[in-house]
């Protein structure tokens, strides 16, 4: 997995790219931070190729399903399917069931193939864009066998172009698992003096990328660009113009998405954001006042709050406050949906939650635990010394929140879908 990123970095000449790894058994984003490759976002269930294969097995098509879906999709019209992005993570199982049901109910198989590609690749592209925003980088590389899909490459290319970022996709032989990329990584490690006697080596299928000490890169290669430095900010999904005492947020149409999906997501999220931003304030969580909302245009006008994103000003007290705030909204029956360190604003003595566009009403312990998990992951992915901060998040949550959520969180953290997906 590290070699997928490194071969892209090696061939592109990029400095510090984020890598989308989309293969049969995997779907995740890796980014470099503080001597390690961190998992910035990942699938909550199966890898992307395996998900597609589940659908094609249902149709009785032979393995591998991906290329067949790609071919049939070219003859189809877009078919609406569930779209599931939760902060930096995503899941495929609901979409696959809906796709199977659609075919069973008589929808043309070409249309379902088209809808399937448009939906799951838009999800991957969106999360890739979120990872660029979170890390403040503007280089993306692709890895994994599903990276051979022309539509996925086109979407990623289009997203990067619209964002002003650079995109590199290695040629197909370096996308699939291959000895060449392992050799390139091996050579880099060897040059860095990072070697291991063959007699001491073995295969550890539970080895996660973030456990690998990255010895072959300088520690100074961390991305330092501050995305809030300019007047108009490219957020994880919107464009935000900062004025003296208000901000204007626009969910501009994304060229990479199918127009129907694009329209649906922009309107849904703008509406949810207006509603939940105010609902949170009513239960005592600091949020900006909503001055205006236009769901069809995808625009919102907010009070300007805070001096910094939490990402730039992490502290134990603020992490504790976010824990408390998440517990308060969960008690009120909804989740934030994307509580990253860029969606928290800090200033004076207040810690504001912003960007509720992925939030929704839910009383499920699982959803509440996921919210907390997303926040902890984003702290872990951006902080130099995360442990005390993560402990403070939990402390803050425990002070107000339901104990069952933290029990479930342990389970979420230990699920290890990633570990078993490595073979």
Ligand X SMILES: Nc1ncnc2c1ncn2[C@@H]1O[C@H](COP(=O)(O)OP(=O)(O)O)[C@@H](O)[C@H]1O
Active site residues: 338
Q: Which residues pair with 33 in a beta bridge?
A: 36
Q: Is the CB of residue 6 less than 8 Å from the CB of residue 187? A: no
CB of 339 vs ligand X, minimal distance in Å:
11
Q: Is the CB of residue 348 less than 8 Å from the CB of residue 374? A: no
Q: Does 355 bind Mg ion (CB under 5 A)?
A: yes
Among the listed residues 137, 341, 343, 378, the single contact to Mg ion using CB under 5 A: 343
CB of 24 vs ligand X, minimal distance in Å:
31
Distance from CA of residue 37 to its chain's centroid? 15
CB of 38 vs Mg ion, minimal distance in Å:
18
> 233 or 280: whose CB is closer to ligand X?
233
CB closest to ligand X, residue no = 235
Q: Among ligand X, Mg ion, none, what does residue 345 contact (CB within 5–8 Å per kind)?
A: ligand X
Q: CA 368, CA 375: separation in Å to the nearest integer? A: 11
Query: Counting beta carbons within 10 angstroms of the beta carbon of residue 204, is it exposed (0 to 12), middle (13 to 18) or buried (19 or more)?
Result: exposed
> 118 or 126: whose CB is closer to Mg ion?
126
Q: Among ligand X, Mg ion, none, what does residue 238 contact (CB within 5–8 Å per kind)?
A: ligand X
CB of 354 vs ligand X, minimal distance in Å:
5
> 93 or 315: whose CB is closer to ligand X?
315
CB of 240 vs ligand X, minimal distance in Å:
4
CB closest to Mg ion, residue no = 355
Q: Among Mg ion, ligand X, none, what does residue 233 contact (CB within 5–8 Å per kind)?
A: ligand X
Q: Among Mg ion, ligand X, none, what does residue 79 contact (CB within 5–8 Å per kind)?
A: none
> 56 or 343: whose CB is closer to Mg ion?
343
CB of 77 vs ligand X, minimal distance in Å:
30
Q: State how beta strands 299-303 and 246-250 pair.
A: antiparallel
Q: Where do runs of H (alpha helix) occur along 59-108?
A: 66-73, 93-104
> 311 or 393: whose CB is closer to ligand X?
311
Structure tokens at 117: 């590609």
Q: Among Mg ion, ligand X, none, what does residue 247 contact (CB within 5–8 Å per kind)?
A: ligand X
Among the listed residues 87, 235, 323, 337, the single contact to Mg ion using CB under 5 A: 235
Q: Which stretch binds Mg ion (CB under 5 A): 203-211, 221-229, 313-321, 347-355?
A: 347-355
Q: Does 5 bind Mg ion (CB under 5 A)?
A: no
Q: Is the CB of residue 379 less than 8 Å from the CB of residue 342? A: no
Q: Among ligand X, Mg ion, none, what does residue 309 contact (CB within 5–8 Å per kind)?
A: ligand X
CB of 237 vs ligand X, minimal distance in Å:
4
Output the CA angle 372-300-291, nearest 5 degrees.
Answer: 100
The site for ligand X (CB under 6 A) is made up of 228, 233, 235-238, 240, 247, 249, 288, 302-306, 309, 342-343, 345, 354-355, 357
Q: Among Mg ion, ligand X, none, what does residue 189 contact (CB within 5–8 Å per kind)?
A: none
* Residue among 151, 130, 340, 154 nearest 237 (CA): 130
Residues that bind Mg ion (CB under 5 A): 235-236, 343, 355
């Amino acid at each position: 997995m590290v070699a997928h990123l490194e071969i892209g970095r090696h061939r592109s000449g990029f400095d510090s790219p984020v890598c989308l790894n989309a293969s049969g058994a995997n779907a995740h984003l890796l980014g470099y931070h503080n001597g390690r490759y961190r998992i910035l976002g990942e699938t909550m269930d199966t890898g992307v190729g395996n998900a597609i294969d589940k659908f094609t097995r249902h149709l009785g098509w032979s393995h591998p399903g991906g290329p067949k879906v790609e071919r049939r999709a070219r003859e189809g019209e877009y078919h609406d399917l569930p779209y599931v992005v939760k902060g930096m993570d995503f899941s495929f199982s609901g979409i696959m069931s809906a796709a199977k049901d659609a075919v069973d109910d008589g929808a043309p198989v070409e249309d379902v193939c088209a809808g399937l590609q448009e939906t799951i690749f838009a999800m991957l592209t969106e999360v890739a864009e979120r990872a660029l925003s979170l890390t403040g980088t503007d280089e993306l590389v692709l890895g994994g066998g599903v990276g051979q899909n022309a539509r996925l490459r086109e979407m990623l290319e289009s997203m990067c172009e619209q964002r002003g970022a650079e995109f590199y996709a290695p040629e197909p032989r370096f996308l699939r698992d291959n000895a060449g990329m392992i050799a390139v990584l091996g050579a880099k490690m060897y040059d860095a003096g990072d070697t291991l006697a063959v007699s001491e080596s073995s295969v550890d299928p539970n080895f996660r990328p973030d456990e690998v000490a990255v010895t072959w890169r300088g520690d100074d290669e961390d991305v330092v660009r501050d995305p809030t430095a300019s007047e108009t900010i490219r957020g994880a999904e919107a464009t935000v113009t900062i004025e003296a005492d208000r901000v204007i947020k626009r969910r501009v149409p994304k060229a990479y998405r199918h127009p129907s999906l694009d329209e649906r997501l922009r309107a849904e999220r703008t509406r949810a954001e207006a509603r939940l931003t105010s609902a949170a304030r009513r239960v005592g969580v600091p949020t900006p006042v909503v001055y205006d909302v236009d769901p069809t245009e995808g625009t919102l006008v907010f009070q300007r709050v805070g001096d910094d994103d939490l990402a730039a000003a992490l502290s134990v007290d603020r992490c504790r406050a976010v824990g408390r705030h998440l517990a308060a909204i969960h008690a009120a029956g909804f989740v934030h949906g994307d509580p990253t360190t860029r969606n928290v604003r800090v200033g004076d003595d207040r810690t504001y939650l912003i960007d509720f566009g992925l939030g929704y009403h839910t009383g499920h312990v699982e959803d509440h635990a996921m919210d907390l998990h997303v926040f902890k992951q984003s702290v872990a992915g951006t902080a130099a010394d995360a442990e005390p901060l993560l402990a403070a998040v939990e402390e803050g949550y425990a002070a107000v929140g339901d104990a069952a959520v933290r029990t479930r969180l342990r389970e979420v953290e230990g699920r290890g879908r990633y570990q078993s997906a490595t073979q």
